[in-house]
Amino acid sequence: MPLITCPDCNRDISTEAVVCPGCGRPMKASTSVEQPPEARHHSSAPLMVTASKSRGVFIILGILLGLLGIHNFYAGYYGKGAVQLIVTLLLGWVIIGIFITGIWVIVELITVTQDANGNAMA
């Protein structure tokens, strides 16, 4: 019976051995397809699945709660949503804040077609 040397522990083992009895290293190639060496050392990034935002929900939120910037929070535009909320709360009692934010909401409802991540709203 011929012997081979285990590359991990340098122990002489049989060519028929499935694993090295000294270190447990697999010795026979499995029947599965082996990855190339460069693919084994690089970990791939995890796959991230995101749900697409609905343009209809964006528009309804803009119509009903647009002065508070809720539609922007929904689409991921947190900065714009916060500014709309602050402008409405600070200047809303003077009517000018409601006017400014109202025009802003109408323009956004017509022009915004993507969420903050760049995904098209379906």
Nearest of 64, 95, 98, 94 to residue 84 by alpha carbon: 98
Query: Do residues 23 and 60 share a domain?
Result: no
Asked, for residue 11, whether it belongs to a domain, the answer is yes
8 lies in some domain: yes
Instruction: Give 101-113 pLDDT, tens digit per residue.
Output: 999 999 999 999 9
pTM: 0.60
Which pLDDT value is given to residue 46? 76
Tell me if 9 is assigned to some domain: yes
How many independent structural domains does the chain possess? 2
CB 98 within 8 A of CB 104: no
* Host domain of residue 1: 1-28
d(CA 74, CA 80): 11
pLDDT tens-digit profile of 29-56? Answer: 544 445 555 545 555 667 777 788 999 9
Q: Does residue 120 fall inside a structural domain?
A: no
Predicted confidence at residue 51, as pLDDT, reads: 80
Whole-number pLDDT of residue 121: 92
**Shared domain check, 63 and 105:** yes
Predicted pLDDT at 92: 82
Q: Has residue 87 been placed in a domain?
A: yes
105, part of any domain: yes
